[in-house]
Structure 1
Amino acid sequence: AAPGGGVEAEEVAAGPALGRLEEEARRRRERLRALRQRTLQNKDSGERENKQLREDDEEETVKHKELKLRNYEPEDEELKKRKVPQAKPASVEDKVKDQLEAAKPEPIIDEVDLANLAPRKPDWDLKRDVAKKLEKLEKRTQRAIAELIRERLKGQEEELASAVGSAKQEGSDSD
């Protein structure tokens, strides 16, 4: 590297052959140079501003150095004036009561239902699914039984009527 900007001469010589990383490094160097130039220019005109900033910083440090005596019992009268009174803890009883009420368990069942405790048979789900179909069949079966009973009663009435009719005929013949 030659004195007085030899790096720039090398960068110009390389031209478009610079890699991506080299290009980023070159940009950073340019930004740093621009920043240095700005700081040098501001140094001359910015001394007045710097004094004002220093005064502001001093005021802030004074504010931060204010004593707050919380756990210390001062002996000096002047320091006793700066003592912070004891903080009173906030009441959390209401919050705790609300949380306890929200966390109350459901009442325990006194009587145990044996149907829920006993293990189910392996085919319980099949029986449950077929139950609806069986209800329909049960209704049809009851109707069929009622119809058969009616037919038998009609048949018996006809037999009874024919028996009564034949008895009348026999009775009229015997007279």
Structure 2
Amino acid sequence: MADGAGKLQEEALRRKERLKALRERQIQNRNQDEGEPENKQLRGDEDKGDEEVKHRELKLRNYIPEDKELKERQVPKAKPASVEEKVKDQLEAGKPESIIEEVDLVNLAPRKPDWDLKRDVAKKLERLEKRTQRAIAELIREKLKGNEDDLASAVGAVKQEDYDSE
């Protein structure tokens, strides 16, 4: 344990020495004029030309002076911007548009795993459906042709029963 504590103290001393050296370098850089960036040098040149004006112009915002000269320097009171207009604009921008009309509920529902197979077979099924309807219609016509006599007699018999019951 004593060994570990000794190492930690040594590291702390080294760290302190490095920080001390770093501070000294920073102080030296501040003292040297060559180390200043160009922006700072330009600002310093402007200040040297205006040595006559050492203070900034007074602007009185909250203080109401009694002196006439100071009253001229008083800044007029600022009028607050209309918050209502900004709030209305933000509320209008935040309103959701009616997306419900555009959304189809079929697209929202989860699809079955075989939906792509059904999609691919749909064209073929349409052709088969048309052929099936034609075949059914043809079979019904054949039955009606074969049973025209039976049909006519059946219709006649029904009419007779209706007349007899009345």
TM-score by length of 2: 0.43
For the pair shown, the structure with the greater C-alpha radius of gyration is: 1
